[in-house]
Amino acid sequence: MRRTLRHLADGREIIYFDADGDAPVRTAEDTRDLPQVMPASEIRRDPLTGEWVAMAAHRQTRTYKPPADLCPLCPTKPGKPSEVPESDYQVVVFENRFPSLAQDVPDTKSSVDGLPMVPVAPGRGRCEVVCFTSDHERSFAELSPRRVRMVVDAWADRTAELSAVDAIEQVFPFENRGEEIGVTLHHPHGQIYGYPFVTPRTERMLETARAYRAEHGRHVLGDVLAAERAARVRVVAEGEHWTAFVPPAARWPVQVQVVPHRQVPDIAALSDAERDDFAEVYLRVLRRCDALYGRPLPYVAGWHQAPVRRDRDLGWLHLELFSVLRAPDKLKYLAGSESGMAVWVNDTTPEQIAQRLRDARP
């Protein structure tokens, strides 16, 4: 794979990923007159939970549901410059123009005025956009295995590079798909967040893995994976190196975890064979998801990776996909119990979810 680093008009990095010999040399210039990006993010720690919350008021002006012919993620056309200066591309990654976290955020005060128990820190990190294809009308599920493998390689590249940034403690690649999820740009794309802290969800998973290992001497996800592969009740798809199953305590009306058979901390640690097999297994999962209700499924799909600098031995890479769609025309809303207490109530069982996905025919 060929990797080409360029810069946009306001100085942001853009990286093209191309199959060797399949694309021209990337030399196009960004001709737009863009103001310099001036993010002013900060993070504040909740004094009651200890969790960090990002504040990014400058994002209020970000692009919102543009018409397809003005999509900022499509290749540049004559008279219609976009975020991608080239006239075509395969996979491309660039710094978000409206980032929640950024590397050049100025210093801030150390605590909220009058509240010394609420620490404040600069929202230093990195937010990137990943475009999976130049085709505006295509979805991830419609990509070829070869293209998915390129996306995996791009995720691995960015995970490794962002992990070397001093301010970043965790790297989170993810895709939001569908207006029901809150997507405002319909071009097939995902994002990567480089957080300046370890996220609350990951902290909880690490605590659980640590306690389980202390009691049983093994990794909890490894034991779950072995049990799921043996029982097969919740398995949706599998390959030589990966198994996709509905988690036994699924929160969402559609939820699937795609887990490698070998414990690795992050995407960069995957072998070539594991990357190829993931592409095949994940595409089967996505195509079953789209066949479930006979319409494109809105979803969030995100990679759970180990923190950058600690507890690497407790991490077990996996991808988790979930959807708010509980019927073709009905959404699951996060009501009082879920939003207020983080206690989930699912309207179906994991076994029923898995059976419906297995029965769905792309």
Residue 93, H or E segment: strand 91-95
CB atoms closer than 10 angstroms to residue 17: 22
- Pairing verdict, β 330-331 and 325-327: antiparallel
Helix axis angle, 220-231 relative to 200-216, nearest 10°? 80
Residues paired with 176 in a beta bridge? 300
> Among 58, 189, 241, 318, which one carries the catalytic annotation?
189
How far is 353 from 183, CA to CA, in rounded Å?
Answer: 24
Contacts of 226 (CB under 8 A, 6+ apart): none
Asked if 60 and 70 count as a contact pair (C-beta separation under 8 A), the reply is: no
How far is 197 from 271, CA to CA, in rounded Å?
Answer: 27
CB atoms closer than 10 angstroms to residue 70: 10
Binding residues for Zn(2+): 71, 74, 136, 187
- 189 is an active site residue: yes
Give 360's DSSP letter. Answer: -
Sign of CA pseudo-dihedral 134, 135, 137, 140: negative
Sign of CA pseudo-dihedral 235, 239, 243, 244: negative
How far is 129 from 290, CA to CA, in rounded Å?
Answer: 24
Q: Which residues are catalytic?
A: 189
